[in-house]
Amino acid sequence: MNKPQSLSLRYDPRQLTDEELVERSHEELFHVTRAYEELMRRYQRTLFNVCARYLGNDRDADDVCQEVMLKVLYGLKNFEGKSKFKTWLYSITYNECITQYRKERRKRRLLDALSLDPVEEASEEKAPKVEERGGLDRWLVHVNPIDREILVLRFVAELEFQEIADIMHMGLSATKMRYKRALDRLREKFSGTTES
């Protein structure tokens, strides 16, 4: 029983590809987590950035990242490698962000229905802060959630259009069209403000 574990410890996870790490994880989990930890280390920063840009705040992004890492830990044994690990990871991330976004939206609707003014005012005060950060965040608050996710997956996660289409369960041409239209809308919206 100790033999497979000692064999699995004789490698440097930083030298392996994602696919090799997934294979190691299939053999090792849950007794040894080296391969899994290396996979998470590779994608941790980008994963957080994708969540933060999609959700608009670090607290929710951190919660979603933790949830994604747990889902990957428990789902890695069943990952068959039909897509790249990166695509599978961002598919989980996308679904978790959507879930979190819907939870927050339901919470806001409930608070609005109950007319809790202090909470409404607090949530309205947060919105400008996202814009003040500048850069991509400044732009993302002006697009709908689906277009925002396409832009985030393209610019932050640096995924190919086909990978984005697979994650979002859309056709390739529809994904490209939404991406182009979102960029065109943003260019129109900010064409006069970039000089000021």
Q: What percentage of the chain has pLDDT greater than the value 70?
A: 77
Report the predicted TM-score, pTM, of the whole model to 2 decimal places. 0.65
d(CA 53, CA 136): 8
What pLDDT is stored for residue 178 in this prediction?
A: 94
Q: Which two tokens stand for residue 170?
A: 């859309």
Q: Which two tokens stand for residue 193?
A: 């403000």
Query: Is the pLDDT at 66 greater than 50, yes or no?
Result: yes
Instruction: Tell me, rounded to whole angstroms, the distance of Cα 173 from its chain centroid.
Output: 22
Q: Which two tokens stand for residue 14?
A: 């930083």
Query: Is the pLDDT at 175 greater than 60, yes or no?
Result: yes
The pLDDT tens digits for 90-146 are: 999 999 998 888 887 766 665 555 444 443 333 333 333 333 445 667 777 888 888
The pLDDT tens digits for 146-174 are: 888 898 888 888 899 999 999 999 999 99
Average pLDDT on 183-187 reads 85
What pLDDT is stored for residue 160 in this prediction?
A: 92
* Tokens 């003040």, located at residue: 132
Alpha helix stretches (DSSP H) within the chain: 2-8, 18-28, 34-55, 58-75, 85-114, 117-132, 135-140, 145-155, 161-168, 172-190
Cα atoms found within 13 Å of the Cα of residue 33, Cβ hemisphere only: 9
Query: Is the pLDDT at 42 greater than 90, yes or no?
Result: yes
In terms of Cα–Cα distance, which of 105, 185, 171, 79 is closest to 139?
185
What pLDDT is stored for residue 164 in this prediction?
A: 93
Q: Which two tokens stand for residue 181?
A: 């239209």
Query: Is the pLDDT at 32 greater than 50, yes or no?
Result: yes
Q: Which two tokens stand for residue 119?
A: 């909470």
What pLDDT is stored for residue 107 in this prediction?
A: 66
CB atoms within 10 A of CB 153: 27
Confidence category of residue 191, pLDDT binned at 50, 70, 90: confident
What pLDDT is stored for residue 79 in this prediction?
A: 92
Average pLDDT on 50-65 reads 91
Cβ contact 100:64 at 8 Å:
yes
Query: Is the pLDDT at 4 greater than 60, yes or no?
Result: no
CA angle 14, 48, 118 (to 5 degrees): 160
